[in-house]
Each structure stands twice: as C-alpha cells, then as structure tokens.
Chain A
Amino acid sequence: MTVPIQSGALISETSRHTLSSSRVRAPRGWMITTLAVAFIVCLPILSVLYVALFPEENIWPHLIDTVLPRYIRTTLQLLIGVGILTFVFGVTSAWLISMCRFPGRKLFEWALLLPFAVPAYVIAYVYTDMLEYSGWVQTGLRDWFGWQSARDYWFPEIRSLGGAILMLSLVLYPYVYMLSRAAFMEQSQSLLMASRSLGCSPWKSFWRVSLPVTRPAIAIGLTLVLLETLNDFGTVDYFAVQTLTQGLFDTWLNMGNIGGAAQIACCMLLFVCFFIWLERRSRARQKHYQSADRYKNLPRYHLKGLKAALATLFCLALITLGFLIPFYILANYAYQYFEQSFTSDFISHARNSFLLSGLAALATIAIGLILTYARRLNRHRAVRAVVAVSSLGYAMPGAVLAIGVLVPFAAFDNTLDGFLRQHFGVSSGLLLSGTLFAVLFAYVVRFLAVSAGALQAGLDQITPSMDMAAQSLGSRPTGVLFRIHIPLLRRSMVTAAIIVFVDCMKELPATLILRPFNFETLATHVHQYATHELIKESALGDLVIVGLGLIPVILLNRSMSSAKKGEQIQRL
C-alpha cells in the first residue's frame, strides 16, 4: 500500500493550520500518561532548581567580583568555536558524501562516524600525550632542529582554549554529519532538479536549496553538539580551561556550596534554553514532508582532479585526527599493559556497562516516543512546554543531574520510611537511592533529549495526511502510532537508540555518584587511573569503550543504507 503524498509539499502557514486542527485527536489516557512521564523526568531538574533557590550562603557577590565574568566569557568562546568547527566539519563532509562522487566516498560514508566512538576526555589525553613537550612530535622536532629546551622555539599549546575547541569538535562533529547526511539524502529530489534546471551551480543549490531545507536537521545536530560542549568537564578540566562547568565544580567541591553550584547550573540552563529556542525557531517557519520518490538515488556531482583530491583529503583528515590517531595510540598502550589490565573484574565491568547502557537506550526511546507523539497529537502550549522541559536533563553536567536524582529519591525513601516507622513500626530503608534504578533513571533523564530530538525530527517529516488517512480508516491514535509512525520511524529510532547507548557507555559523573555498592562500569574503572594521570593503565578500558562504540556505528551505517532502499515503504 502506498499513500499518495504530494511530492515535496511545502505547506503554507494557513493550510498547515487547517491540517493540524483536523489531526487525530489525543485521547485523555495518552495525555495523562504523557504528563505523568514528563513530570517524573522533570523531577531532577526541579530538584536542582529547588537546591538553587535555598543556598546555605550567597556566593554570588564573590563570584561576580572575581571569576564569573571569566567563566562566562570562556564558555561563550568555547561554544562559538566548537559550533563553527563542527558545522564546517559535519555539513561539509555530509554534503560531499551525499551529493558528490570522489575516491574513497563509500569508505568515508561510514568511517566519518568513527570519531563518535571516542570520548572527548580520551582524545584530550591522547593528544596531550602526543603534542606536549615530551611527546614524540616535539621531541622529534627538537632532534631535527637541534633545539635544546622549550625556550628555543614556539609550539602551539594543546592545553588551551583552542586545543579544547579542536578536541571537542573532532569527536562531536559526527552529530552534525549524521543528521545532516540523513537530511541531505532525504531532501526532495525534485527540488534539487528544479534548482539545477533553473541554472543553479552546485554551490548555489547547496546554499539556496539544500541548506535551508535541511536546516532543522543541522540545527538539531548543532544543538546536541553545543549541549555536550556546555557540560563537558573531562576535557576542560584536563586543559585547565575555565568554563562555567569548572566554576560549578569549584563552588561545589572547594567551597562546599552546593546551592551556589546549583545556581551556576541554572545559569547554564539559560544558555540551553537559548539554544533550544534558536533551534525551534529555525524550524518554526518551515515544514516539509518527505516525498514519495525520495528513495531514488540523487544524481551525484562527479568530482575530478584537484577537487576530488581535496574532498578525499578533507574526509581523510577528519577520520585520521578524530579516530585513527587516538585509536592507534590507545591500542599501542593497551597492548603493552594488557596483562595488568585484562582481569576477570574487567570483563564484569564491561558486562555491567553493556547491560546498563542497553536498558537505558530502550527506556529512553520508549519515553521519547511517548512524549514526542503526545506533542504531535496535541499542539497545546502546555504539552509542548512539558516536552521541552523534560529534555533539559541533557543540558546539565552529569554530576549536577546526579544530585537532582539523589534529592527526590532520597526524599521519597526517607518520607516513606518515616511514615512506615511511625504507623507500622517497620522500616523500609532506602528503596530507590543507591540502586541501579537510580543510575538508569539518571541516564534516561540525561539522554532523553537525544532520543526526543531524533524522533521529533523523524515525526516532523511524516505528513499529517498519513494520520488523517489512518483515522478515516478507523484507526485510534495508539493504532496510528504502532501501525504508521513506529514503522516509518524505525530509522530515527535506531539512530537515537545507538546514540544513547554510546553516550551511556561513556557516562561517568552520574554513575560515580549514584551507583550501588561494589558496582563498576568501564567508565568508572578507567576513571580511577585517569585521575592519577596513568593513561597507559587506563588504555585498555578506553579502547573497549571506543571499540564498543564502534559496533553501534557499524549498525547505524547499515540501518541508514538499508533504509535508503525504501524497504519500509514496501513493507507498508
């Protein structure tokens, strides 16, 4: 069965209004479930707000007088730098891969995803090891030129703001690449054909057609990048770059002022709200729905000579810098230290990481689906606001989020315990605190934005006429979800699940704070060495995190290319 869709329909504001008002109506059960889920997911954020509102001592006068302006300035510089670099890396490579032919394209198509498997703090360690004074690069240069000490020559300092921008961009650009490549491949062929037949050069049709049409996808990718950047702690800490996150931890751990730290976290949330507003705004004015002929392959520009060489070199450079070099260095250390590192404990840590991340990915997708579908069913402001707020967990540094989980869980446990003790003389102790459920919950809250973002983008591309057709054929909203949207969203769901899985594998601060007794994940296991600058001892663990991250990258690639063949439509 195929559903007739006007190809590449760009629907005007007025017609969209009539469409959405005649959409499938939301049944009450859905809305109640949605609100309940959203409320629970928002709890940690509300808790942080609560902690911020009742600090033990007002630290702001001191912060504003001394370090806060610098924290904010550095944070802005970092965000702008990473934003620009990931945009250039991600969009350029996605455009080259999806629209051009050049040597190595097929290989690069998936290899460009590889850096995604490398955690930012790992790449920071590896490059510092290589580029600092005693690293082989500078040692080699000194031998070559006969320099004696650091005072004889200039070499860029890797532990700097610029270094942090580069490190973060190298591992974060795949977000932009992934989302913009999917969008470039899904863009309406007829639009591009029209632009070409109207005399646009490839460059012009990129700027005037492809880029505007794929803007929502790029915006989502960039938003994810900026959020990751904002709450990165490992890299900025290692490079001593003074961002808001650093200030937050300083206020919390050195000044013992958790209220002040929560206030800085709220300050960071303002940044986040701004990004989200910007991203929403960028898509508010436009709607485009997928066309029936999207699965035909787009004719690609055939690059030759210098252009082809440049394209190949560009992709190769990204892969080498973002993946091959760190991977090689880690593999080398892991080999040297294999016997010390590979123990039976190590295997059980790996299993823990795998199970926990897998569960978190499933839960995150399920909840993401409930929320985004509710938003589609009911465009009421309140629903949209609730869905937006529930995504804020992504914007919080993991440790702050962990506090946000700790507060309501412990409050619930202790209240229940108090009640039972008072009335029944029994103690329930801690039911939620210090369990894996708490860790899992933190993961879901932390990464819900990733799944909701991807699912939202997928849902937005499904024309409302599908819903209407299904409704007129007698389907109820839940039926529409299971029979129309979930099959059509398969690709978005797989993508989202994979991203969440990999992110959970790398997650450190919340795991450290919330986990139960005698429980280690690979990330926490590696961390104990990393804090003592023992990069070699931690290499095997890092390598496994990177290696496991590769499996989803491969799956992701397969799902993306199989979907291209249009099997989903046929199955429908």
Chain B
Amino acid sequence: MALLGRPSRHPPALADGLTARCLPRYALPVTAAAVPVAVLGLFAVTGLQGVAGFVVVSALLFAAAQTALSYLVEGRRSAVDRLCTALLCLAFAAAALPLLLIVGYTVRQGLKVVDLQFLTHSMFRINPEKVGGGVYHAIVGTLVQALLAAAMATPVGVLVAIYLAEYGGRRRFARLVSFVVDVMAGVPSVVAGLFIFTAWILVLGFQKSGFAGAMALFVVMLPVVIRSADEMLRLVPDELREAAYALGIPRWRTILQVVLPAALGGIVTGVMLGVARIAGETAPLLLLVSLNQRIEFNPFAGQTDPRPQETLPTLIFEQFGVAAGNAESPPFQRAWGAALVLIVLIGLLNLVARFVARFARVRG
C-alpha cells in the first residue's frame, strides 16, 4: 500500500529466519531478456505467428519462468507472491493496452483527413462516397445540443441536489427521490431516446429535431448532475451554515450565498463531466435527429427543409453505413476523422473539468 511505504523488493526473511535465500539482483533482467529469445525460437520451430501472440506468450512465459526460479531458490511463498505480482502487472497492461491501441489507431486514421478544410466545411453538395467535405455542421450540432441539455439539466439537477442535501434529511420522500435518481442513472441511453421518441414525436406529433435530441440527452445527464452536486453540497462543513444562521441570515439565502458558492467548483466539475458523457452519446440521437448535410444552428429546425441538426456521433454512424465495411473508402476515413474530433472534444471537456476541480475544491 502506498501509504505504508513499500515492502522491500525481496520479501524479507520469512519463516526461514534472517538467512532466507533471495534471487540475485540480476536474475529478473536476465530472465526478461532470455524469454523473448526463447519465444522467438519457439515461433520459428512451431507454426505459431503474429505480434500479438508473441507478446502474450512472452509475458506468460516470463511470469512462469520467474515463478519457477523463485520456487527453486526462495521457496513456495515467495514464488506465489512473485507470480501474483506479475499477474497484477499483466492485468494493468491488459487494461492500458486497449486504450493505447484505440486512441492510437483513431489518431493515426483521423490525422489522414483532419485539416482546416475538414473542420470548417459541411457535407453540403458533397457526395459522401467521394473525398472532400467536412464535419463543421456536426460539430455545431453536437455543441448546441450538449449545451442545450446542460442548460436544462443544470438548474433542475442543482435544485434537486439542494433538496436532497439541505432539506430532505432522512424523510421518506427524499429517500424516494434518491432511489429514483439511482434508477434514472441506470436507464439505458437508447431507452431514454425511445421515451422521447414515443412521447415527443409519436404522441405529441412534433418532428425530429436537435431539441428532441437534447431532451433525451437531458434525461441521460440529469442523474449525473444530481449525484455530483449532492455529494459536493454534503461536503460543505456545517460550521459555515451555523455561522450564517448565527448572523440571522435566513436558510434559503444561506444556501444560495454561502453553501452553493462553497461547493461551486465541484458542481461545475460534475456538469462538465456530464457534458463530456452526453457529447459522445449516439443511440438516442439516431432515433431523434436525422441526416443533414448542411450547417444548421437552430436546434428547433424540423424534419422538412430546414432539416434537423447533424451531430458528430450520428455522422460517424452514417458514414460508417455509407462505407459498407470498406475500411479504405473516403466515408470510412471521414468517420475516423469525425471520431478523432469527437475524442479530442470530450478529452478537452474532461481536462477542463479536472482543472476546475483542482482549483476550486470545496472550501471550508
């Protein structure tokens, strides 16, 4: 455990007393060097091949070899310890590798098409199967809808969080609200999309629009905002409230002018993380926003001319469909370009959120 200082690299004398034998220092590097060579030989002799196979076999063989060495020299308990340590390291590698692969591949593919033209032009009058055009219209749509959803979710979410943290206490109604917020956090985003689709479009008869998409995003984002704001408000020390009451300030003004400002940084972080989450949402938007090649700033634009706003995720899915599985075709390249833009956008939101969190902790 980090807090404890590390146990020494070689577990100190175990049951055998102070003279327990340890693997010499050079043992592990030598093993690490010998294993890939051995695996190369193995690959040459047998029919095995492939980079992935080589890495996996080497890693497992290294874990096994050092365990065996340790068992011979240091005994069973150390061997188990070394084996499990190696496996935990491998687990971390297995988790970090996909991230590097996915982000790396997206960047490599995306950079082939992303340039100033790509970022500042729409797909209007561009044949999607040919090279050209850009995703400006989709960036506009994603930003407008995400901000609209945030503009709806933030006030409602913060009010609910204030109720839960300040007024609710252990009252039955507060516990019910808290439970429903948990349920809401578990609603699949495609179901949120279906809900708006049935309620807004089928029953009430409105057209598909950016606003309909924003409403579905609102349903997805609301529980995120409520949970984070609730937690932040509870972190504000009671002494602040007591001091305010002692000065004769009514409760609502205490909340608005003392408690909320103290928790503001955390609440803003929660909102930013919520926006980052919904900016990448695809499923509800596929149901609620339809294809459009033009730049459209108005989220209320309906199905006929002008058409609803395009967004980055829906654009990626459409171009993926146009490409029909051909990874070298222009629409597929365009999809990767849009994916890169989307990842950078969400990454920036996350970074800003962390930045805000670091410099605006709950003050007491």
Do the two shown chains form a genuine complex with each other? Answer: no
Give B contacts to A, CB under 8 Å. Answer: none
